[in-house]
């Protein structure tokens, strides 16, 4: 019934807390301590991330936006008139408007996000900016298969996955995600993806450890969140943020470093930290064009076109299957 399908914020909060607890226990009792990066984005984390994208050192967002502005007309022409856009992890949907501004009679916008509040906000923003556009939001975890809403037969489909979010996957998981997206979108579809590039280590490390300390606060908020939501007793002054370039895996890693040996209580458990031991909180993989093309090919996608900036910082890829 309708009532059973209705979004219940309290039930959702309980489910989220249980999932956070399960991930925190598994991740913090492991040999190498980790926490999944998705937990960085509670209300406070989302607010800090909005500050990150405006930092002078954090080049990805402004670079990708400029590239999208420049390639939107070409993407729109290749996607064809009457195409629908499916955005994976749409969040606040800040960038997709650049595509709709350029597209001819788009059939629909299908934003997909696991967070219903963000999904509705983004859907409403796009609907308001593009009167007449059909907006069909889907609440789903975009890393797992989900059914697309009904669209007119023969509607060309364009997947959209900006922000270098693909960099948060390991290459193996990224390949699985691209395969799944290919199955959802179907034969003949296209996918537009933003991927950050390998570059000078100092530029990368500054982008993830800014002078104003916003990224440090974003990372440290994860410990504050465990205190708030799981009643843990992390002493925030006994940890520090670190952004490390892993040269072998060509990725930036965010860690929280324990400044001394310590014992932390969380959900009836005692977590032991050695001095210098870290919690690995995020991977942000950087791609060379040849590596990204190979990854896509292994997932059944051909790179049709790609666009970049003059400094070679970031790439936007149009894939076709
Ligand atoms: C937009 C989620 C891909 O990896 O660059 C920014 C997240 N982490 N600063 C990225 C992030 C630290 C960001 N993603």
User: Quick one: pLDDT band at residue 115, thresholds 50, 70, 90?
Assistant: confident
* Sheet of 251-258, strands arranged across: 239-246, 251-258, 278-285
The answer to whether ipTM exceeds 0.95 is: yes
Return the pLDDT at 111: 97
Q: Whose CA is nearest to atom 12 of ligand 1?
A: 208
Ligand 1 pocket mutation pick from 49, 50, 194, 213 by most atoms within 8 angstroms of CB: 49
Q: Across residues 226-252, what is the average pLDDT?
A: 98
pLDDT tens digit sequence for 29-38: 999 999 999 9
d(CA 67, CA 220): 32
Is the pLDDT reported for residue 272 higher than 80? yes
Is the pLDDT reported for residue 2 higher than 90? no
36 CA from centroid of ligand 1 (Å): 13
Closest CA to 123 of 96, 155, 160, 148: 96
Ligand 1 pocket mutation pick from 45, 168, 169, 209 by most atoms within 8 angstroms of CB: 168
Query: What percent of the chain is modeled with pLDDT above 70?
Result: 98
In total, the chain counts a number of residues equal to 321
Q: Across residues 4-21, what is the average pLDDT?
A: 82
d(CA 312, CA 198): 9
Cβ neighbours, 10 Å, residue 266: 19
Return the pLDDT at 6: 64
Q: Whose CA is nearest to atom 8 of ligand 1?
A: 208
Is the pLDDT reported for residue 11 higher than 90? no
Do residues 138 and 7 lie in contact, with contact meaning Cβ atoms separated by under 8 Å? no
User: Quick one: pLDDT band at residue 21, thresholds 50, 70, 90?
Assistant: very high
Tokens at 227, concatenated: 């205190």
Ligand 1 pocket mutation pick from 164, 166, 210, 221 by most atoms within 8 angstroms of CB: 164
Return the pLDDT at 13: 84
Do residues 281 and 219 lie in contact, with contact meaning Cβ atoms separated by under 8 Å? yes
Cβ neighbours, 10 Å, residue 250: 17
d(CA 11, CA 136): 24
Burial class of residue 97 (count of CB atoms within 10 Å of its CB; 0-12, 13-18, 19+): middle
3 phi and psi angles, rounded to 5 deg: -60, -40
Do residues 282 and 253 lie in contact, with contact meaning Cβ atoms separated by under 8 Å? yes
Is the pLDDT reported for residue 291 higher than 50? yes
**What residues are in contact with ligand 1 under a 6 Å CB criterion?**
52, 60, 163-165, 167-168, 208, 215, 282, 284
Return the pLDDT at 1: 41
Return the pLDDT at 5: 57
Residue 222's Cβ-side half-sphere holds a number of Cα atoms within 13 Å equal to: 31
């Amino acid at each position: 019934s309708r009532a059973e399908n209705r979004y219940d914020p309290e039930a959702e909060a309980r489910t989220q807390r249980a999932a956070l607890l399960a991930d925190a226990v598994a991740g913090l009792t492991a040999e190498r301590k980790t926490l999944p990066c998705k937990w960085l984005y509670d209300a406070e984390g989302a607010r800090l991330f909005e500050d990150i994208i405006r930092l002078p050192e954090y080049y990805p967002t402004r670079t990708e936006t400029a590239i999208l502005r420049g390639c939107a007309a070409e993407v729109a022409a290749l996607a064809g008139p009457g195409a629908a856009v499916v955005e994976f992890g749409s969040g606040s949907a800040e960038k997709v408007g650049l595509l709709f501004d350029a597209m001819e009679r788009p059939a629909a916008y299908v934003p997909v996000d696991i967070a219903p509040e963000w999904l509705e906000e983004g859907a409403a923003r796009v609907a308001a900016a593009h009167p007449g556009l059909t907006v069909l939001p889907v609440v789903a975890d975009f890393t797992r298969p989900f059914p697309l809403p009904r669209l007119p037969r023969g509607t060309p489909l364009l997947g959209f996955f900006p922000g270098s979010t693909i960099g948060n996957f390991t290459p193996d998981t990224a390949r699985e995600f691209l395969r799944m997206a290919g199955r959802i979108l179907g034969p003949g579809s296209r996918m537009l993806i933003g991927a950050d590039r390998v570059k000078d280590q100092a530029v990368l490390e500054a982008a993830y450890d800014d002078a104003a300390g916003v990224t440090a606060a974003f990372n440290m908020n994860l410990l504050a969140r465990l205190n708030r939501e799981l009643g843990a007793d992390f002493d925030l002054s006994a940890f520090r943020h670190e952004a490390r370039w892993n040269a072998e895996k060509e990725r930036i890693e965010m860690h929280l470093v324990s400044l001394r040996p310590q014992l932390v209580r969380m959900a009836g458990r005692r977590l032991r930290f050695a001095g210098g031991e870290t919690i690995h909180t995020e991977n942000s993989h950087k791609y060379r064009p040849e590596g990204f093309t190979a990854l896509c090919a292994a997932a059944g996608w051909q790179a049709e076109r790609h666009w970049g900036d003059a400094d070679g910082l970031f790439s936007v890829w149009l894939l076709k299957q």
